[in-house]
Amino acid sequence: MLIEATPFDFPCRRDGLALVIIDMQCDFILPGGFGESLGNDVSRLGAIVPTVARLLAGFRRAGLPVFHTRECHRPDLSDLTDAKRDRGAPDRRIGDMGPMGRLLVAGEPGAEIVPALAPLPTERVIDKPGKGAFTRTDFEAQLVNRRVRQLVLAGVTTEVCVQTTMREANDRGFDCVLASDATESYFPQFKAATLEMVVAQGALVGWVSTTDAILSALDV
C-alpha cells in the first residue's frame, strides 16, 4: 500500500500502521491555557481540530491502532525539571493555577485532550513529562506489543513535540509520515521549516502527506 507523500510515496503495511495524535490538549488548544499564557494565538491550533478528527475517524473505521499523547506532570511536579519549569511567562509557570486548573498537571481539566478528539477506552494515552513521546514513557514497548512499525503523526506543535517524537521514532527504527494539514504551530514559519526538514535528503527523518491522501490509501 502506498500513501501519496513527499519526497516520494510512503510504502506502508496496513497490519503495522498506527496513528499517533500528539498533545491535542486544552492547555495548548483553548484560550486560558498554557499556550496562551506564553503569548500565543491559540486559534491557529484550534483550527486543525476538525481535520485531526477526520483522520482519527478514518483510523477508527479502518480498525487500526490509535495512540494519544498528553504533555503533563505529576501533581507534586517531581517529574518536572528546573530546566523546563524556568521558561516562559514568569507569572504563569507549569504547575501554577490557570483558568482550567494547574497548568500541564495530570488530572487537571487543561491537561485533558479536547472533547472533539477524546480517546476511546480502547485507545492508549501516553502521558509524557517531556517533548518526545518516547522519553521516560513505555510508548516504545506499547508499539512493539502491537507489532506497529509505521506511524502516522498528527497534533501540536509541529516543531516541538511532533518533530521531537518523529525524530525519536526514526532513531528507534519506526517509519513515520506526518499529516501536514493535521499539525500546526503557533508560528507558521516554524511549521513550514519543520516540514522541509523532515523530508530533506530523501526522507531523512520521514515523510509528509495530507489527511486526504492518507485516508484514500486506507480506503476509508
Q: How far apart are CA 9 and CA 173, in angstroms?
A: 18
b/e for 116-137, b at 16 or more Cβ within 10 A?
ebebeeebbebbbbbbbbbeeb
Residue type, 177: V
Q: Which residues are catalytic?
A: 23, 128, 161
Helix (H) or strand (E) run with residue 139 in it: helix 139-145
Q: How far apart are CA 176 and CA 174, in angstroms?
A: 6
Helix (H) or strand (E) run with residue 177 in it: strand 175-184
Q: Terminus-to-terminus CA distance in the chain, angstroms?
A: 14
